[in-house]
Structure 1
Amino acid sequence: MDTQQNTALTRALAEVPGPLPTSGVIHIAIPHTDRFTVVGNHLAQHPDLSCTAVGIAVRIQSLPQGTEVGIKALAARCKEGQKRIAAALRELEAHGYLERFRDRLPGKKVITRTVFCNQPAALVHPRRPAAELRPRLAAPVSVRVPAAAPVRAPAPAPVLAPAAAPAQAPAPEAAPVAPPVPLPPPVPETAPAPMPVPPSPAPLFVPRVPPPTAPKASRRPLPQPSELTPELGRAATALLSDLHRHAPRFPLSEDDVHRLVPGVAAWLERAARPDTIRRALTDDPPHPLMHPAKLLAHRLTVLLPPAPPGIDDLAALARPRVTVTPFQTCDDCDRAFRSPTPGHCRDCREVRSEHAEHAEHAQAAAA
């Protein structure tokens, strides 16, 4: 009875909408109203940062401006030692979240400044300012309104003088009537200029993994031999039918064997040995192996060896051999020289020719 059970989580779990997952974590998200820090998933789920580095980064990000975040200051706040904190800070520096540099104050005092960026990728690819993303308002369009016809003021009524005699007063003269002024033709209203569409901002990040709705590339067809002879067909069928004896994880049905026979025949046509084909198809399969026939079709297509070179291709590769003249030793001075046959070097041949000339001159003079 002394074991305390937290029933608050159990009650909150009953209020989670939707079906609960059969495995994995279940999140109970309660919105924060105060004392919280926004942390991006690029940091919380960073594949190359250790959990210690992620925790130190979150701790630094939650501290107010101007707080000491050196190794000793963090060791006083955290349970990790100074060595682990120093290693975590080096990881954050390597990935651009943290930078430490020395700055000289006006009084010739050198201090170490620590700069922490919660999103270093935004510094490499800066966001466009909000003013550029707002649509520009169109310039005011002036609309010409037709001028109204001038309105004439009514002529003042004539003032009658008091009658001096009982005689009838003369009738007043009628005011001259002005001719009607023609109205100007109506000016068509100018249509407002269309609002310019702002250019779409360049994406900050290009996803490397295609979305699930992206069209998948078509599969490459199974290789086919130039001519499926009966001998190739029988050899390929025998290899596939006997495959489960060498690799028990590759049991094939009769339909699978008939479907894969052309691919194995293409390998055999390219002078591939049966044991080489068997090793290439069954070596290091995935765990668990769900579809053996599909794996064999994929490997038959992707690992297809090149066609063996023909006689003409080998003849083109053959180069004429360069004849190397061997070394010989001079019979007179024992000097090494290159010559196809043994004899004398160049200097000894010249000396011998000079002696022969002198001998001929001496014989001629004696005669």
Structure 2
Amino acid sequence: MDKRYLLTGLIAVLGVITLVWWRTSHSGLTAQNIESRVEAALAANATSSSSTSSKEEVKAENLKTLYLAGGCFWGLEAYFEQIDGVLDVESGYANGTSDITNYTLIGQTDHAETVKITYDASKLDVRQLLLYYFRVVDPLSLNKQGNDEGRQYRTGIYYESQEDKAVAQAVMKEKAEELGQELKVELEPLKNYVKAEEEHQDYLTKHPNGYCHIDLKKAQDPLIDVSLYPKPSDQELKEKLSPAQYAVTQENNTEQAFSNQYWDNKEPGIYVDVATGEPLFSSKDKYDSGCGWPSFTKPISADVARYKEDTSFNMRRIEVRSRSGNSHLGHVFDDGPKDKGGLRYCINSASITFIPKDQMESKGYGYLLPYVE
């Protein structure tokens, strides 16, 4: 009798192990396709941040301009028009060999399709504009963006002051280091700018189903500047983190289910990287998955998460790590709520710190309040 019970128990355990293996080994997620799934999930519940100010309402000293080339200007214009602090976006042609050109002549005059961005410097700065810019361009592609190919579709940052040049150089250096390659983005003083024909202004407003090579919804994803959340040294982390936090974030350990700090937390607020303070998740996207760990349908921004194939324990999973701290956070699975993108971020409480909604402003996270319920 005892042997039969033992055999039955063993079969049950093997069944559970097999089920876990099957679900993790047959998941459609990969480190390569996860980002498109995340973008879809973010777009499903996007929070608009478009500006309501006009140039007439802004002090003259705060009216600034920046010129950016990033492929077809129809999409780039529509993208930047959605960003809070941007007052006006104009399509044009920049940095060619002549001060006279048009849509049919730019191949001869070597102009780049460019957008002139007028913005309120009290709400937005050049660095932030460039971080938005690098979200939607391929900086490693020479003379080609999306389906458009040719010199007129090159990427470029065209500045009017040495201060703006210095900011652009710093951002480009960070991006090149992140990608491990030299960027193909021009950085030049503005010259020979020509406003494009009226038919090209607000093109996607006039033609909502018109061609666009970028994902316009990325403008609604909150901008989280990685430079604000630097990673401490290993010695500093050992002093700052508890043994359990260090083991999880730096040594890829996993805490116990149902006995961790945040698995059943229902308060409104955000969850940040315990190592760096970088925002990672919002309570708006937290739900009870029944797994015993904090579960989310998506990160607060696609920018803050990194993904890695994980084959430990003879399972095939997608590990989630933080951007700035490179902290081990947990794993992402494709068995989440279908109406919210179908993803389940299973996160260790030891890898995150909860910031209650009523403390976000005082702790420097007030800019993310619109993304918390």
Q: Normalised by the shorter chain, which TM-score bucket?
A: under 0.3
Q: TM-score, normalised by structure 2?
A: 0.17
Q: TM-score, normalised by structure 1?
A: 0.17
Larger Rg over CA atoms: 1
Identify, as 1 or 2, the structure richer in strand.
Answer: 2
Higher relative contact order (CA 8 A, sep 6+): 2
